[in-house]
Amino acid sequence: MHINLGLIVELTLTALLAVTLVYCIVLERRLAAVRRGQDGLKSTIGELNAAIAKAGTAMNALKATTASAAETLDGRLARARTAADELSLLTASGERIAERMDRAADISAATRSQPAPVVSLPSSAIMKRLDTLRAVR
């Protein structure tokens, strides 16, 4: 029994080629799975980019809205401060008028026989102060 050396080499090469073929088939399937995963990753990245773009647009709109709201609030605050200053001035003037009226009533009660003094109301002075205050603002 003498086995031909050439036959053994050919059978060994055939077996190795068969193993290589099986390994290539397995490798091809794995590469196909990687490609499918890559395609899914591409679509996910595309969706993420679209979401980021929408978020950027929303942020810009939010910034514009807050800027507009800030301007509106600043205007209202300025008007409120002016009204508070006017009310403060009117309150102070009203208190002075009330004090004058109290003094006039006290004087009138003390001297019933004499006519009550005429107390002038500072309406023109108040209006001048208000006009000055408004002109400053």
pLDDT at 73: 93
pLDDT at 127: 73
3-state SS of 63-109 is HHHHHHHHHHHHHHHHHHHHHHHHHHHHHHHHHHHHHHHHHHHHHHH
- Residue numbers in the chain where pLDDT is lower than 50: none
Number of independent structural domains in the chain: 1
Domain coverage including residue 61 = 5-136
Measured between alpha carbons, how far apart are the two ends of the chain, in Å?
122
pLDDT at 41: 84
pLDDT at 116: 52
